[in-house]
Amino acid sequence: MQPELRNGEAIPWRAIPELSLTEFRSALLQRCRTGARIAVWFAVPATEPGYLTMLAVLADDSASVLYPMAAPYRAGTPFPSLTPELPQASMFERELWEEHAVQIEGHPWLKPVRRHAHAARHDGPALPSFPFYRVDGTGVHEVGVGPVHAGIIEPGHFRFQCHGEKVLFLEIRLGYQHRGLERALLSASEAKQTILAESIAGDTVLGHAIAYAMVREAIAATSVPYAADVTRGMALELERLANHVGDLGALANDVAFLPAAAYLGRLRGDVLNLLLELSGNRFGRSLVVPGGVRTSFAPEKRTRWIHQLATIEADLEQICQLLWETPSVLSRFEHTGVVPTAVARDLGFVGPTARASGVARDVRRDHPAGAYCFAHVPLTLVSSGDVFARALVRWTESMRSLQFLQEQLADFEPTQLGRALGPSQPNVVAVAMVEGWRGEIVHVGVTGSHGELSAYKIVDPSFRNWTALAVAVRDGEISDFPLCNKSFNLSYAGHDL
């Protein structure tokens, strides 16, 4: 009997049958051929020395269930790569190989995810053992960008192989932001864990803080009061709104349509200021704690908030209509940086990146938790997969977030905001998924025999989606790279952990 769990639940280790590596591999493949996909796949040290336990959680989006599966792995045993048959496995296999020396065999391009060879890095970002992919031939040239970029952006290195203006290949090397987050989380106090979770990606404070809190609540088998769930949902939508609006402004800036860039930049700040009024911090830090939230909306401000949200909605409508009606904007947005539907599905992209390529995937709909069990946010789907599609998805989702906020605010009463957590259950696996503004966030917490956190795994949406940028710029013009990059606006810190 295959065990199941739902988003925000914990399952005892012993309820997960231990498969052999061969069974694990074929069961994973079988599930993914019949509608499921990999939500997370990682390894934890086993009690027996020299062994690891591989743990995968597969998501069946149509049934809203998650399938955990486990297999012991003895150090040095070859594991035939799933990537050739199941490309979405690629990043997870590279990570298993890098972090636990799992002997992945037959992976088309096994290379580090985040690790750099410090000793070899004094003369530049190149790792001697993993040279960049290179194209040779007459007129072919190479462009290297980063890790320090021209704007105020996180570090990463982009290596282009070009023929004239045309990009033949882009290789993205990350890891510059690696702070050892997962390890730091295990040795931290609970209060510090919350702050670490908020710092996974500083623009996705709420998405990650909610996921972390859900894991702790699942481990403690404690449910959150309704008012806390609604507060979290509203804060998460404010975060989505602020970032989507900011991205639309940045896209306008990259095609030199400055009126919209300036107005949207201001509008993003207005949304952040609502978060500041709510939590005391423009990014919503210190709002979410395991068990609930620390503050909520002050009812006496309800009328002003509703008015302010309506103003933001009207502004956004007017400014975005300018974008959609300006030919010079559309000519840069349309048919630029196309990610085909099949590629998005095969590589397991998530969030607006997937939904702009016609892949209907949204945790709020597929695996609802908290406020989303009771209030549904319609899914946005565009199929053209270009920069225009990603802009349109952001705009539509912003409008939907505003509707959600106005509906919730209308009759919200901040009654009970938190509940004390019960004792942590020993030997369980807890899974939490949150639809952050960039897409699906997955956190997994594993407890030991005393209920202590013995392993913690974080999957930021950017971990899956960076490949989408490499796909999008292929065969395009290198001058479109900044625009393509901005249309995804992925997290370096969230990827590098």
Partner 1 sequence: MIKILAARWRQGNRTLRQRVDTLQLPDRFRGKPILSPERCGAGCEACAASCPTGAISAAPLTLDMGRCVFCGLCEGACPTGAIRFSSDHRLAATHRTALRLDGQERERILTLGAELRRLFGRSLRLRQVSAGGCNGCEKELVATGNVVFDASRFGIQFVASPRHADGIVITGPVSRNMEAALRTTYAAVPKPTLVIAVGACAISGGVFAESPETCRGVPSDIPVDLYVPGCPPHPLVFLEGVLRLLGRL
**Which residues sit at the interface with partner 1, rule CB under 8 A?**
114, 116, 118, 121-122, 125, 147-148, 150-155, 175-181, 183-184, 187-189, 191-192, 194-196, 199-203, 205, 259, 262-263, 265-266, 268-269, 272-273, 276-283, 285-286, 294-295, 315, 318-319, 321-322, 325, 491-493, 496
CB of 176 to partner 1, least distance (A): 5
Give whichever of 268 and 361 is closer to partner 1, judged by the CB atom: 268
Q: Which two tokens stand for residue 7?
A: 């988003």
Q: Strand, helix or coil at 97?
A: helix
> How far apart are the C-alpha atoms of 130 and 174, rounded to whole Å?
13
Cis bond before residue 147 (omega within 30° of 0): yes
The dihedrals phi and psi of 443, each to the nearest 5 degrees, come to -120, 140
Residues forming a β-bridge with 159: 144, 171
CB of 168 to partner 1, least distance (A): 26
CB of 234 to partner 1, least distance (A): 15
Contact in structure between 491 and 201 (CB atoms under 8 Å)? yes
CB of 477 to partner 1, least distance (A): 20
Contact in structure between 473 and 486 (CB atoms under 8 Å)? no
List, in sequence order, every beta strand (DSSP E) within 164-220.
Answer: 166-173
Q: Strand, helix or coil at 190?
A: helix
- Which among 241, 296, 244 has a CA at the least distance from the CA of 271? 241
CB of 480 to partner 1, least distance (A): 19
CB of 333 to partner 1, least distance (A): 17
CB of 99 to partner 1, least distance (A): 13
CB of 147 to partner 1, least distance (A): 5
CB of 430 to partner 1, least distance (A): 22
CB of 315 to partner 1, least distance (A): 8
Distance, first Cα to last Cα, the chain: 35
CA 435 to chain centre: 8
Place of tokens 């292929």: 474
CB of 31 to partner 1, least distance (A): 34
Contact in structure between 142 and 152 (CB atoms under 8 Å)? no
Q: Which two tokens stand for residue 160?
A: 């282009």
> How far apart are the C-alpha atoms of 53 and 182, rounded to whole Å?
17
The dihedrals phi and psi of 386, each to the nearest 5 degrees, come to -100, -175
Query: Buried b / exposed e across 147-165, counting CB within 10 Å, b at 16+?
Result: beeeeeebbbbbbbbbeee
Contact in structure between 336 and 387 (CB atoms under 8 Å)? yes
Cα dihedral across residues 179, 269, 214, 357: positive or negative: negative
Contact in structure between 186 and 445 (CB atoms under 8 Å)? no
CB of 202 to partner 1, least distance (A): 3
Give whichever of 177 and 336 is closer to partner 1, judged by the CB atom: 177
List, in sequence order, every beta strand (DSSP E) within 110-258.
Answer: 140-145, 157-163, 166-173
Residues forming a β-bridge with 292: 289, 418
Contact in structure between 422 and 221 (CB atoms under 8 Å)? yes
Give whichever of 39 and 278 is closer to partner 1, judged by the CB atom: 278
> How far apart are the C-alpha atoms of 232 and 216, rounded to whole Å?
15
Give whichever of 262 and 379 is closer to partner 1, judged by the CB atom: 262
Per DSSP, the residues of 229-249 read HHHHHHHHHHHHHHHHHHHHH
Q: Which two tokens stand for residue 482?
A: 């900044």
Residue type, 293: V
Give whichever of 75 and 191 is closer to partner 1, judged by the CB atom: 191
Give whichever of 39 and 250 is closer to partner 1, judged by the CB atom: 250
CB of 240 to partner 1, least distance (A): 15
